[in-house]
Structure 1
Amino acid sequence: MNKNSKIDFEKLYREQYNKVLRLCMGYVQGDEHLAKDLLQEVFIKVWQHWDSFKGGS
């Protein structure tokens, strides 16, 4: 992972945080703590697979 990739990931995180959180809140019927756990898991997966991420979804 190079420095630009980290910066790009951080930008994606900031831009998509609220959208992903709302989606997670819907999945867990408004349980904020559980939604934030799911949100964290989503972004961990994105980070782990960043090199193959093409930005299309």
Structure 2
Amino acid sequence: MLSRVFLIKQGQCCGNGCLMCPYTEKHSGNSNQVRKEVIIDLEDWEKEELKIIDESKTK
């Protein structure tokens, strides 16, 4: 299983049906916007790992 952090770092949904898909329009392969509830649920270490991503990419 791919982690949320890994998937967010990819920058776009791959469309492969990932269990932890963090993007809007899950599994579409077209989205680069991270769902707001995913950002809210991130652990502190995940936020640090991502260097707190640009919140304008959340929906």
TM class, shorter-length: under 0.3
Q: Higher relative contact order at CA 8 Å, sep ≥6: structure 1 or structure 2?
A: 1
What TM-score does the superposition give when structure 2 sets the normalisation length? Answer: 0.27
Bigger radius of gyration among the two: 1
What TM-score does the superposition give when structure 1 sets the normalisation length? Answer: 0.28
